[in-house]
Structure 1
Amino acid sequence: MTPIWAWFGYDEPNYTTAPNGKKLLSDIAVLSPVPVYVRAHNLMTSGDGSYALKWGSTGMYTEDKDGKPVYHWSIVDQIFDTYVERNMKPLAQIGFMPEALSQHPQPYQHHWKPGVRYQEIMTGWATPPKDYDKWAELIYQWVRHCVARYGQQEVESWYWEVWNEPDGHYLIAPDVKREYFKMYDYAADAVKRALPSARIGGPHTAGAGRFMDDFLRHVLTEPNYATGRTGAPLDFVAFHAKGAPKVVGGVVRMGMDVHFQRLDDSFALVEKYPQLKGMPVIIGESDPEGCAACGMATKPENAYRNGTLYASYTAASIAREYDLADKRGVNLIGAVNWSFEFEDQPWYAGFRDLATNGVNKPVLNVFRMFGLMGEERVAVSGDLAYDAASIKAGGVRGARTDINALATRGKRRVAVMVWNYHDDDIIDAGAPVALQIAGIPARAVSMRHYRIDSDNSNSYTAWKRMGSPASPSPAQVLQLQQASELAQLGTPKKLKVRNGSTIITMQLPRQAVSLVILTY
């Protein structure tokens, strides 16, 4: 089981070094048995390092009065230091455009807030460079600086990418496709000149379509804008896929079908090119919808984010990403969960985040569960499950919920994650579930059972029971911290094994997730 879940990302890079950001990164790093990859926007954006919604900066590039480049690495170093100190790895984004290189620099910094038209964020940072040679030199110097600071072996383990969603609103140019291909060629050449063994890829498009298809054809077969040779370096393919929740009859209804269709369309484009067989694939953003910084106050369909629906959606969708990738024969190595934390915001304001004011939300415990699983997937079958194809065709919308599992085995160990998911945000007592685990070479096993539901691993429920305080007291914050931990149901139990098999029964509430671990 490739740890595709151990990838995270966010718009605001300067949250990285805020106290709550450091705490959350530590929590994420600890939960994973492998190094976690982190993707952030605005790593090259001009500014003083202040954060705001959908904004950040490092000010790494300015020019003197004669137009000569001046490099400033201190802020981006603080960000990458925070990752490396936790054994995390950057999925380092080459973007966005420094003010001194922007084709249309003014206005430069946006002042977007929820409820304002999304396109308002696209200001002077969203243009191609006015001087490609200076831009390429900046990239070259940045990679060389990273090698000098962190060592060649460390930087060789990173991934580098160019921009974000150039097929969306993030790049402003008369011929966006041509300019992006040129930007990619110059950036890839600069990265490889600085470190030939570095890994670079793209295009991080908003989805499958003509833009992604043309990009793949360009890097494989067309003249390179920077070198004149055929093709461009490509060490991985990356794209984004999102769902589409909405409110139906006063209830939030998730759009996992849309999410899966977009995933499969992009996998199909990779499958189309024989040259990409075995090429690593990264879903650069894989989420229930598209705006992490849009709270439920302006988008009521985002009310799923605080409670167990986000948790069960995450478990059910990540598990099926393996199935969708396997069907297409693509080498999926990562699926970036685009959610982090937001500073200076109300408690549980409905942002797509993993923590609020330093307290982890239920969804983070799904990743803790993934971190406790093994390295080898085991086949799962059952009579209550939807498969990936049926979800892609129509979601989980019927009278029956999706009760399914993801299982792994290791040395004298079995782990099974089981969920009870439905697209509609309704909680009920759920259903009785029996797990039959066969092939156990022992006479008895020890079982631990972890659970995410309304009463367990759930800081949001704890906060509501306090009366939803706008400013929890220190004692209340401590209670919320305790409620945010992954909860174990009862104490470990000894179970008998008969003919290599044991059966575990449970009552699994709707939108709940369980993790059962057997050791022997």
Structure 2
Amino acid sequence: MTISITADGGAPGEPLVHFWSTCVGAGRAAEGLRAGWQEQLQLVADAAGFGYVRFHGLLHDDMFVHRREPDGTDVHNFQYVDDLFDRLLDAGVRPFVELGFSPPDMAREQGTTFWWKANGAPPTDLDGWAELIRRLAEHWIARYGADEVRTWYFEVWNEPNLGPFFRGSKSEYFALYGATAGALKRADQGLRVGGPATSNFVPDGRFAGEHEDVSQHAIVREAEDLDALEWRPVWLQDFLTYCHQRGLPVDFVSCHPYPTDWALDGHGVHQQHTRAADATTRDLRTLRELVDNSPYPDAEIHLTEWNSSPSSRDHTHDYPQAATFVVKANLESIGLVDSLAYWVFTDVFEEAGAGDTAFHGGFGMITFQGVPKPVFHAYRMLNRLGDELLARTDGAVVTRHSATGGLAALAYHYPPEVTQAPPGSFGGRETAERILATGSPRRLRVELAGLRPGASVTIETLDARNGNALPIWQAMGAPDSPSRQQTALLREAGRSVRHVVQQADEQGRFLFDEEVRPWSVVLVHQPVPGRSR
């Protein structure tokens, strides 16, 4: 079976929005004050073009944003937030502001989730909460200017349908959203607010939140084929109805379409299920239709967390199949949403505490030591695509850069033997190694016309041997904390995909026709002036 695509550089194209690079995730706000985190953010911003970064914990204890004195006086301290946001903007990245969790003196319960003990409970005083949000927004406007802050996004909370993250009911979340949206709009009508930031999509709409504050379903009807059912986003329909009935603004809709681990109820009861390889695209189509037919058809759609699994100890994240899944899901979802934010860019990430070893299955596209994983190259290669789509087929696209006329094609070999999203590899690397070895080579044929005669064309290949530092680390004896020399070698190995430079023929045609391994990603492109590698 051959993956084949042909395009003419002089043919008409259609606009292509790089929704995959709109936003990327990070762990928590305080981690962003570290030098390693900031260096890695600059690296992914330059290579992958990310425009926004979203993280938890902006109002957590370690950011010192709010405290209440014994006499009831509220004290606000924005110095740590200022330092973080200044550094983001200096790196060319804007904040996608997640407003949560509760500051300690407002939280109804404290330390409910994560190693860093986030206060996953609604604030006891909605008026005090609204005053804090208004003051923050006005502070940002004074510091950065209204025009700048109007380009940001303000998302209310994180996954309020899951108990550890929100020790309250659906009704309480809706009330919190209303208070937060009102506070932001009082500060400036141009600020963009949205939600409900729920996790996850669930089958057949049965657990999507149609019933008010249901704590647990007594019976879960098993389907013979869960993937044959329609999956729908949790709480979203009720959320949009609530906001419309009360005249609340919804500038964007957000939720988290992980293709695994769906919640049976609103309080943390789960069933683990790895869905079909095209589950993300199917979910985004459902979401697009739902929003288009809602009272808010002009609302943007931002999927503010997404990955092959929602575990920071899934070894699959360190392997090439994670990268191939990223490319496949994004290319199949062109035109459906405004962002699909990879969770997260760095293994400087402590929801479950520190990883015990350099490659521990963390979410990040870069290890704690700064070693790029294959998924880093997936986003770097996606960012190399142009802003006009010329051709598209199963497994490949060809694009054009409107400013230069240069062409860029991206292709991937997701072996048909793997019908699911990459299965998680928990507790060890055995499943990840088995999946990496699944499948057979395929022929890849990319034919381009309309190039300048003799023009240079670069072919970059990402696979198990190229752009993958994990085998090098294993050959070193898998050191938990690599030496400085080992770290330098791993960083170089992680950055080094296979590069080959060829030329178009005298008629301005170019043909790439080779056999590629399973889980390969291949980028065929002409150099773009001013773009880093």
Work out whether 1:150 is the aligned partner of 2:150: no
Which structure 1 residue ranges, 4+ long, deviate > 4 Å from structure 2? Answer: 110-113, 252-255
Q: Is the 8 A contact 1:255 1:288 kept in 2?
A: no
C-alpha change, 1:497 and 1:245, in structure 2 (3 Å) is farther
- Whether contact under 8 Å (1:307, 1:362) holds in the other structure is yes
Alignment of 1:160 onto 2:157? no
Compared with structure 1, are the counterparts of its residues 131 and 245 closer, same or farther at alpha carbon in structure 2 (3 Å cutoff)? closer
Render the CA deviation track for 1:247-267: whole Å, top value 9, x for unaligned.
xxxxx9775344344333323
2:253/2:299 contact within 8 Å kept: yes
Residues 265-322 of structure 1: per-residue CA shift (max 9 Å, x gap):
323321322x43343111111221223x3x1xxxxxx231111011111111111121
Structure 2 counterparts to residues 455-494 of structure 1, below 5 A: 455-490=465-500, 492-494=501-503
Query: In the alignment, which residue of structure 2 is the partner of 1:506?
Result: 514
Root-mean-square deviation (CA), in Å?
Answer: 2.4
**Deviation at 1:429?**
6.1
| 2: CA distance, partners of 1:507 / 1:177 | 52
TM-score for the superposition, normalised by structure 1: 0.80
Instruction: Please give the residue correspondences for 1:96-495 in structure 2 after superposition, counting only pairs within 5 Å.
Output: 96-103=101-108, 105=109, 108-110=110-112, 112=114, 125-169=119-163, 170-173=165-168, 176-208=169-201, 209=208, 210=210, 211-220=235-244, 222-223=245-246, 231-244=247-260, 255-273=276-294, 275-291=295-311, 293=312, 295=313, 302-322=314-334, 325=336, 332-343=337-348, 344-345=354-355, 346-356=357-367, 357-381=369-393, 385=394, 404-410=395-401, 411-422=404-415, 423=418, 425-427=435-437, 430-438=441-449, 440=450, 442-490=452-500, 492-495=501-504
Decide which moves more: 275-284 or 91-100. 275-284
For these two proteins, the number of residue pairs brought into alignment is 443
**Structure 1 Cα separation of the partners of residues 67 and 506 of structure 2:** 68
Alpha-carbon shift at residue 501 of structure 1 (Å):
4.5
- Quickly say closer, same or farther: Cα 1:255–1:147, change in 2 above 3 A: same
Letter in 2 for 1:172: R
Residue identity opposite 1:75 in structure 2: Y
SS in 1 for 2:512: strand
* Greater relative contact order (CA < 8 Å, ≥ 6 in sequence): 2
Cα distance in 1, alignment partners of residues 288 and 276 from structure 2: 19
**Contact (CA 8 Å) 1:445, 1:519: kept in 2 or not?**
no
SS at structure 2 position matched to 1:496: coil
C-alpha separation between the residues in 1 aligned to 2:276 and 2:200?
A: 15
How far 1:378 sits from its partner (Å)?
A: 2.0
List gaps (5 residues or longer) in structure 1.
50-57, 114-120, 224-230, 247-251, 296-301, 326-331, 386-403
Whole-angstrom CA distance in 2 between matches of 1:59 and 1:262: 38
Per-residue CA shift, 1:93-123, capped at 9, x if unaligned?
A: 11111121122x3xx235756xxxxxxx9x7
CA distance in 2, matches of 1:90, 1:124: 20
Q: Distance in 2 between matches of 1:130 and 1:436?
A: 62
- 8 Å Cα contact 1:244/1:259 also seen in 2: no
Instruction: Check the 8 A contact 1:96/1:163 in 2, yes or no.
Output: yes
Deviations 1:187-242 (A, max 9, x none): 1111111122111111112135342101111222x12xxxxxxx111211111101
| CA-to-aligned-CA distance 1:364-387 (integer Å, 9 cap, x gap) | 111111222211122223xxx3xx
1:496 aligned to which of 505, 508, 532: 505
Matched, 1:4 2:19: yes
Closer/same/farther in 2, CA of residues 131 and 456 from structure 1, 3 Å limit: same
Distance 1:373 1:235 in 2: 28
Q: Is the 8 A contact 2:318 2:373 kept in 1?
A: yes
Please state how far the C-alpha of 1:488 moved relative to its aligned partner. Answer: 4.3
Residue identity in the other structure for 2:493: A
TM-score w.r.t. the length of structure 2 is 0.78
Aligned identity (percent) is 25
Whether contact under 8 Å (2:111, 2:120) holds in the other structure is no
How far does residue 91 in structure 1 lie from its aligned partner after superposition?
0.7
Map of 2:3 onto structure 1: none
Q: Residue 10 of structure 2 aligns with which residue?
A: none
* Structure 2, unaligned runs of 5 or more: 1-15, 202-207, 211-234, 263-272, 349-353, 423-434, 529-533
Matched residues in 2 for 1:278 and 1:111: separation? 34
CA distance in structure 1 between the aligned counterparts of 2:297 and 2:44, rounded to whole angstroms: 31
How far off is 1:152 after superposition? 1.9
| Residue 398 of structure 1: aligned partner | none
Paired with 1:351 and 1:68, the residues of 2 have a C-alpha distance of 41
Shift of residue 437, structure 1, vs aligned partner: 2.5
The structure-2 alpha-carbon separation of the partners of 1:98 and 1:278, relative to structure 1 and needing over 3 Å to count, comes to same
